[in-house]
Amino acid sequence: MAASLGNIKEKVSAGAVLTRADAELLYRDASDELLSELATVARNRRHRADAATYIVIAIVNYTNVCVAKCDYCSFYKLPHQAGTYLLSVPEICAKIDALEALGGTLVSFNGGFHPKLRIHDYAAMFRELRTRYGARMEFFEMTVAEFMFTCKLSKVSYADGAALLRESGTRWVTGGGAEILDDAFRRRHSPGKYSVEDFFSAQQAILGAGIGSTATMVIGFDETLDERMNHLERLRRFQDESNGGLTSFLCWTYKPWNNSLGGNEVSVGEYLRWLAICRLFLHNIKHVRTSVLTKNEEALRGLKFGADDFDLPTEDEVTQKAGATISHEFEPILARARQEGFEPILRAPFAPALGFEPTMKRPESVSHSATLA
Ligand code: SF4
């Protein structure tokens, strides 16, 4: 049967899996109101209708040295250029302490493809940080893309690299470095960042070692709808193949300042429409997160387009260099969630989908009067 908005609506009400043609039709033809309505049906099947969870997070960029040369990146420096840095452990700790003072409990590390950092260096650094902070802080220790680079550089397989990290205490890697998981897109913009199949083989090795991981997507470069759908389709298949191994999905928007690609940022309206498509198409990913980092308070409108969770970021040089603005005034952001009709609930980091529980507790005292779940 040819897809129509009417039968897609029935499928969503019945909890049926949408086809690619359904998603494309929705994206092209559905009104904002219909997308919001359908994404809310799908969201509320798995989450409280009147609440959204959030966490305070620092994205710590421990190095800006990178040899990948993605044309959309505003952050990296080549090793010989002026202004490179590689933070020491005390410098990283100062950032973590600053996060803790703001009520934060999660650090997501994101550097570049540093040509001198081997997998053992990462393992040693993260072991030291985990020992120092114990159960007070959770760490997302690198992105999948960085993991791939350092494994290749260190001449270890992804399976061996992931096992080494796990033995050193790593619990999480993020699905960062995905952007658009389409090989034509990657050849155009980030040929140093590996093929789609290579990316998913690294994800598989990470999950196989008992490390949690996530799914990400960035929109707003020059990607086509076909390329976006290739990303979602491959991701959904991986999630099926890994028995729901990826814990959450975060989509954010490309920031076009200070890089060689340039262009224009996608509007909030476009972001919300795409967020709804992601919630509806990715039926097998429980948590869909909206990006305060790139859309500020407007991101909270995403809770009406399928998202159930958000970050309050305290720093991220990568996106700040590209034009993102970060506020440590959390109350207006939380107030916006309430204004949209959702009680914001401070949470601990999600438990990875692989069977081990978070060791940390939610903070007992935070300065932004959040409700603890
Ligand atoms: S996006 Fe990441 S991998 Fe690409 S150049 Fe920037 S730091 Fe390097």
Q: For the structural domain made of 19-372, what CATH number should be given?
A: 3.20.20.70
pLDDT in tens, the chain (373 residues): 567 999 999 999 999 999 999 999 999 999 999 999 999 999 999 999 999 999 999 999 999 999 999 999 999 999 999 999 999 999 999 999 999 999 999 999 999 999 999 999 999 999 999 999 998 999 999 999 999 999 999 999 999 999 999 999 999 999 999 999 999 999 999 999 999 999 999 999 999 999 999 999 999 999 999 999 999 999 999 999 999 999 999 999 999 999 999 999 999 999 999 999 999 999 999 999 999 999 999 999 999 999 999 999 999 999 999 999 999 999 999 999 999 999 999 998 877 775 555 555 555 444 444 332 2
Report the predicted TM-score, pTM, of the whole model to 2 decimal places: 0.94
Q: How far is the CA of 92 from the centre of ligand 1 (A)?
A: 20
Residue 22 is encoded by which pair of tokens? 């359904």
Question: Could you give the count of Cα atoms lying within 13 Å of 237 in the half-sphere of its Cβ?
Answer: 12
Count of residues in the chain: 373
Q: Is the CB of 111 under 6 A from ligand 1?
A: no
Query: Which residue, judged by its Cα, is nearest atom 4 of ligand 1?
Result: 70
Alpha helices in 116-171 (DSSP H): 119-133, 144-154, 158-167
Q: Is the CB of 218 under 6 A from ligand 1?
A: no
What are the structural domain ranges in the chain? 19-372
Residue closest to 310 by CA, chosen among 356, 347, 341, 340 = 347
Q: Is the CB of 75 under 6 A from ligand 1?
A: yes
Q: Is the CB of 142 under 6 A from ligand 1?
A: no
Q: Is the CB of 126 under 6 A from ligand 1?
A: no
In 161-319, beta strands by DSSP E: 213-219, 246-253, 287-290, 309-315
Query: Which residue, judged by its Cα, is nearest atom 6 of ligand 1?
Result: 73
Nearest atom in ligand 1 to 193's CA: 3
Residue 26 is encoded by which pair of tokens? 């929705």
Q: Is the CB of 66 under 6 A from ligand 1?
A: yes
Nearest atom in ligand 1 to 112's CA: 7
Residue closest to 100 by CA, chosen among 132, 68, 123, 124 = 132
